[in-house]
Amino acid sequence: MSERKPLELMGAPGSPYTRKMLAVLRYRHIPYRLMFQRGGMIPKDYPVPKVALLPTFFLPDANGKMEAHVDSTPLIRRFETEFEGRNVIPADPALAFLDYLLEDYADEWLTKAMFHYRWYYQPDIDKAAAILPRWLVEPQKEEDALALGKIFAERQISRLYVVGSNPETAPVIEASYERFLGAFRAHLENSSFLLGARPGGGDFGVYGQLTQLATFDPTPMQLTLDKAPAVYAFVDLVDDLSGLRPQDSDWVARADVPETLRAIFKEVGTYYVPALLANAAALMSGAQTVETEIDGARWVQQPFPYQGKCLKWLRDERERLNDADRRFVDHVLAGTGCEKLFA
C-alpha cells in the first residue's frame, strides 16, 4: 500500500489561520508541504480558490481532481474523517459542540482584535508594514520592500471597517481582548487546554489568533506579557504538540467542567454573541449598518454575510444534538449570554 502524499497548502507566517492549520497538522502527525507565496500568486497548474484567503489547501475531490479549499473549520472536520488518531474534535457530541463554539469565537471575534491592533496603532502598523511584505520566498530590493509595505499598510488600514474597528468601537475590541486574557489566564492555572488535557479545535483557533496578538504585534504582545504571561507561553507550546500523547480520558468530564471555562463562555456571550445577533438582524432586514450595544457601549459596523452563515451553522450544530446532549450544553452555557444564540 503506497503512502499518502503530504497535503499541500499555501500560507504565510502572518496569517493566523495558516498558523492554526499548521499546528493542527503537526499535532495530528499529518504530513504536509507548505508553499509560501511568490508575488501573491497561486503556483502554476494549481487550482485557484473562489476567494483568495490563506491558507489555501489543494485537495483532491471524489474523482481525484485537485480543488482549492480555504475555510479552516470545515478542513479540520474533513481531516477528522480522513486521518485516524489524535483527533481534535471530542467524541462526546456535547463537548464537540462547546469546542465548535469556542473555535468560532476565536476565528470570528478574536480576529477582530488581531486586525484592529495591527492596523490601528502606529508601532504595530510600522512593524507589519516592514515584515509582512518580506515573507515572500524571493529576493527583494530594500526600496521595493518599503514601497510594498506602504501600499499594503494603506490597503489594510482602509479595510479596518470590515472587522468593525473604528474610533467608536476600538474601546470595545480592546476591553474584550483584555478580559479574554484574564479569563484564559485563570483557566490555564488548572487546565492545559480549553477542554482538558488535550487540545481541541477551539485551542487551535485561539492559538492562531494569538500567534499574532501575543507574539508579533507590539501593542497586544506587551499587553499579553503584562497581563497573562501564561497565555504567551501557551502559544509557544501549541505551536508544536507533535510529542503530546493524548488519551481519550484527557477530555474534561461532563461532571468536571470548571467555572473557569464558563467564564470564557461568558466573554463569548458578552462580546461575540451581541455582534453576531445584530449582524444577522441587519442581513435579514437589508440594513446597511449593524448597530447594537456591546457591554454597555455602542457597536457599529457594516453587515458581514459570512458571519450570518456562522450563526446558522452554530444553530444547526446544536439542533443535531440529542435531547440529553442539548440539555448539557444549555446547562453549561446558561447565564453566560451564549444561550441567547438559541433563544
Taking only the tens place, the pLDDT of each residue in 270-281 is: 999 999 999 999
Angle, helices 201-213 vs 72-82, to 10°: value is 140
Q: Give the distance from CA 46 to its chain's centroid.
A: 26
Question: What is the band of 139 on the pLDDT scale with cuts at 50, 70, 90?
Answer: confident
Return the C-alpha cell found at 238. 501549541
Q: Are 20 and 30 in contact (CB under 8 A)?
A: no
Taking only the tens place, the pLDDT of each residue in 46-86 is: 999 999 899 999 999 999 999 999 999 999 999 999 999 99
135 Cβ contact partners less than 8 Å away, ≥ 6 residues apart: 12, 13, 14, 36, 37
**Which amino acid, residue 321?**
L
What's the CA gap between 80 and 87, in Å, rounded? Answer: 6
> Can you give the pLDDT at residue 40?
60
> Can you give the pLDDT at residue 188?
98
**Whether the predicted pLDDT of 2 surpasses 60:** no
**Whether the predicted pLDDT of 137 surpasses 80:** no
Q: What is the mean pLDDT of the chain?
A: 96
Taking only the tens place, the pLDDT of each residue in 230-257 is: 999 999 999 999 999 999 999 999 999 9
Q: Is 0.75 surpassed by the pTM of this model?
A: yes
How large is the average pLDDT for residues 125-138?
Answer: 91
Phi-psi region of 164 (alpha: psi -120 to 50; beta: other; left: phi over 0): left
> Can you give the pLDDT at residue 45?
86
Q: Give the distance from CA 140 to its chain's centroid.
A: 31
> Can you give the pLDDT at residue 252?
98
Name the β-bridge partners of 301: 290
How large is the average pLDDT for residues 184-210?
Answer: 98
Task: Please state, for a pLDDT cut of 70, what percent of the chain lies above it.
Answer: 98
> Can you give the pLDDT at residue 39?
60
216 in helix, strand or coil? Answer: coil
CATH superfamily of 7-82: Glutaredoxin (3.40.30.10)
Q: How far is CA 1 from CA 4, 51, 81, in A?
A: 9, 36, 19
Question: What is the band of 37 on the pLDDT scale with cuts at 50, 70, 90?
Answer: confident
**Whether the predicted pLDDT of 17 surpasses 50:** yes
Question: What is the band of 1 on the pLDDT scale with cuts at 50, 70, 90?
Answer: very low
Domain ranges of the chain: 7-82, 93-342
Question: What is the band of 116 on the pLDDT scale with cuts at 50, 70, 90?
Answer: very high
Element (H, E) at 32: strand 32-36
Taking only the tens place, the pLDDT of each residue in 286-324 is: 999 999 999 999 999 999 999 999 999 999 999 999 999
What's the CA gap between 25 and 23, in Å, rounded? Answer: 5
The residue written with cell numbers 462547546 in the block is 98
> Can you give the pLDDT at residue 41?
72
Bridging pattern class, strands 297-301 and 290-294 = antiparallel
